[in-house]
Structure 1
């Protein structure tokens, strides 16, 4: 839909007048610069969560980790991320998106350095938890920051750049791990070198964010209209900036008549409870696809598939490359393709692929020369499906669906449950795959993905093509669910 037909700002009498169309100019370059710097948080998110894939085996030997403490190193970051998601959302609502991202960059650096110098499991666990706090905060603050900066016409692709940077960080971790492992072997503290690399983007994020603006929507919500207009005017034409600020102010004024959206108020509004449950459901469903089991334990899965350990760490780069390609395709789709349709295709394809992995891992016994390569191809297809149809769409949707005054809280709670699901999967996946093998594990993932498909079909509303202010109206009044029911029946 065009800007002039779908969205409008408030005129002097409260009537709607068309927003000026989105145009290119110096402001377009500035918007791209701001998005690039902010998404270094996503790059760190990706690298920190994936680097353990190659660093864990040599770390286990040097720090004398048991199976329990090995799981603790992996899941410590994830449980920390769950806490960081909650704290990050609340902090960014009160302190601002920009300052919160700067604080997050400091935590990334401190956590990385603690992990690099860790002499034992205790120090390593503390460092991983600090990194987790930063990762969790990044997963809530950066998507919101990008969504609030973006014109609604390109909000999907701009907010989705964070997911592209996440998978780029994961791919970078796989490649760097393979290079370092090939050059230095698995001894001599090689895992410390792998972990030290993550300090570089943390420094870049800190320096870059010092020169970035605050979210104009957050500024307007605090009554700082002059600053909000100044920021918008660097990211839009002057006319468009003025019109958007008028629209933001109208919604802010309506909200100001309320007492403020505290937790009790949210829980008393059935529509807000519903959208919160949908956000939680999307976050948990994304994690239980099994994608992060591949990101954290990809080398382990590939060894079980039949690859030798030194080959597995190299071929593990394949899913990483496909993940980046899938994220690029997803970004091109976001502004032109229904969010709901994207989710439905994604969960349907992952369900089918998991069933195929289960069947073929049983049909091709260990020792069969084709087994590792067939399973690798299916794993690559699975990663590609998740990155193309699910990951970007989930993060973009979470950044869109909550009203402004509960946006930080809403995405924080949703991502908290996302990380809790991630953490328990990360903690118990080695036990699960050891007990049930690839066949049983992936049949289990197929059942979970089928349930997620049913949830999306029945519950998740469409968010594409509306400004954040229009979404706010529809979510608060329940209109968005009525529209969703009509689309399901159609």
Structure 2
């Protein structure tokens, strides 16, 4: 008989394969920072066309997130993620061999479709596979892979800089993990919960037997059947069910407030922000690498805490830390250009802010909705959730420099500090705690009880 440790090992291995989608998410998001300078010289990009090239991935990601959920609910998690791996390969090769700006933009949109699909399907697939006591940490593995992908992009950019048409190699390198994702997904079975709700209980049982004890298999299948209630409508209209109002407000509201904290703006414009804190250009670039290291370290810490402390407490504590760091940083910027001690404090505030984001918001931002939504419309609801996330990410990144020009550094980071404080309150007052509960228990408590 398979031991508990072996079963957990099987779950962790499966989650690691699925989370390669997060690695590609991070790599394709981060690689453009190193590829863009050489690409600009090659294509003769203007500031406007550079912005179009960079933002085109975000547009594609929003479209991919919004479209993949319905496909996943209809055809299954596994085939949609497998298709995403193929799209990653196609988009990476097209971008690496692009000979014009329009082809590059189309390639980046195609890559964005795969990125958006991965951001939607990966947390859902892992949450449906993982046992309740490991689910938070395993879904958090997706975030660890994202930040690791960003760091891998930074490292590959550094290593490849200077070779002939280095930007092509930087972008094309994503083909390797894309192929590995496809091969890995082929070795996995479909989500047992998707199988069960689609009338394939025998297959669901066989999948669960690999990851659970015989007693747990029976209990889990019984739980799934007890919550398997046909929706009154299909697709997006199913989300209009009044019983979903509470969980949708929690899941979508988390994405809106999470993006309004300015986290993506801080990451995308980190060198400029560090220069505003008083660092020289070379020191600012070095400090940006430090952001990547801190991101990874505190993501690991957050993964260890999320199943012990709980989702809402971890989010609220992290958001409170973010708000304090942003408020202090805004206060420092009120005095104009910083130097000496104030420069050191300013840089420390940004580092601590990133640590607070990594240990709290970034860990739970996709865990919470992947657990809250009921099985039959889970991926469709996640499409709405991740689509909102990507749309807000685009808006915040697009408006950051305009806010900076209009309100200055102090005003901009003051606005983000207020939004982050609101997120802490929202976490404690609106978002239900899901730690240690099965997905079926969560559905009974927060969805069916609303009937």
Whether these two folds match at TM > 0.5 is yes
Is it true that 1:159 corresponds to 2:130 in the alignment? Answer: no
Deviations 1:283-317, CA, capped at 9 Å, x for gaps:
12222222212332223333444444444333311
Match of 1:484 in 2: none
Query: Taking structure 2 as the reference length, what is the TM-score of the superposition?
Result: 0.94
Secondary structure of the residue aligned to 2:99 is coil
8 A contact 1:71–1:426 mirrored in 2: no
Match of 2:362 in 1: 391
Structure 1's unaligned 5+ residue stretches are: 1-21, 481-490
Q: How far apart in 2 are the matches of 1:323 and 1:463? A: 25
Q: How far apart in 1 are the matches of 2:449 and 2:239? A: 14
Secondary structure of the residue aligned to 1:151 is coil
Deviations 1:219-246, CA, capped at 9 Å, x for gaps:
0011001111111111122332233122
Question: How far is the alpha carbon of 1:466 from its aligned partner?
Answer: 1.2
Secondary structure of the residue aligned to 1:363 is coil
Q: How does 1:92-171 map to 2 (within 5 A)?
A: 92-171=72-151
Q: How does 1:117-266 map to 2 (within 5 A)?
A: 117-181=97-161, 184=162, 188-252=164-228, 255-256=229-230, 259-260=232-233, 262-266=235-239
CA pair 432-111 structure 1, distance change in 2 beyond 3 A: farther
Deviating beyond 6 angstroms after TM superposition, the runs of 4 or more aligned structure 1 residues are: none
Match of 1:405 in 2: 376
Secondary structure of the residue aligned to 2:4 is coil
Secondary structure of the residue aligned to 1:271 is helix
Q: How far apart in 1 are the matches of 2:37 and 2:359? A: 30
Question: How far is the alpha carbon of 1:197 from its aligned partner?
Answer: 2.0
Is it true that 1:50 corresponds to 2:21 in the alignment? Answer: no
Match of 2:295 in 1: 323
8 A contact 2:278–2:337 mirrored in 1: no
8 A contact 1:53–1:295 mirrored in 2: no
Question: How far is the alpha carbon of 1:451 from its aligned partner?
Answer: 2.6
Structure 2's unaligned 5+ residue stretches are: none
Q: Give 1:67's match in structure 2, choosing from 28, 44, 47.
A: 47
CA RMSD of aligned residues (A): 2.2
CA pair 149-109 structure 1, distance change in 2 beyond 3 A: same
Q: How far apart in 1 are the matches of 2:193 and 2:37? A: 46
Match of 2:312 in 1: 340
Q: How far apart in 1 are the matches of 2:349 and 2:302? A: 20
CA pair 302-364 structure 1, distance change in 2 beyond 3 A: same
CA pair 125-242 structure 1, distance change in 2 beyond 3 A: same
What is the aligned residue count? 450
Deviations 1:234-271, CA, capped at 9 Å, x for gaps:
1122332233122212222xx04x5455544431x323
Match of 1:283 in 2: 255
Secondary structure of the residue aligned to 2:366 is helix
8 A contact 1:364–1:371 mirrored in 2: no
Comparing 136-145 with 115-124, which one deviates more in the overlay?
115-124
Query: Taking structure 1 as the reference length, what is the TM-score of the superposition?
Result: 0.86
Comparing 36-45 with 368-377, which one deviates more in the overlay?
368-377
Deviations 1:404-438, CA, capped at 9 Å, x for gaps:
11111111101111100001122233443355443
Q: How far apart in 2 are the matches of 1:260 and 1:38? A: 30
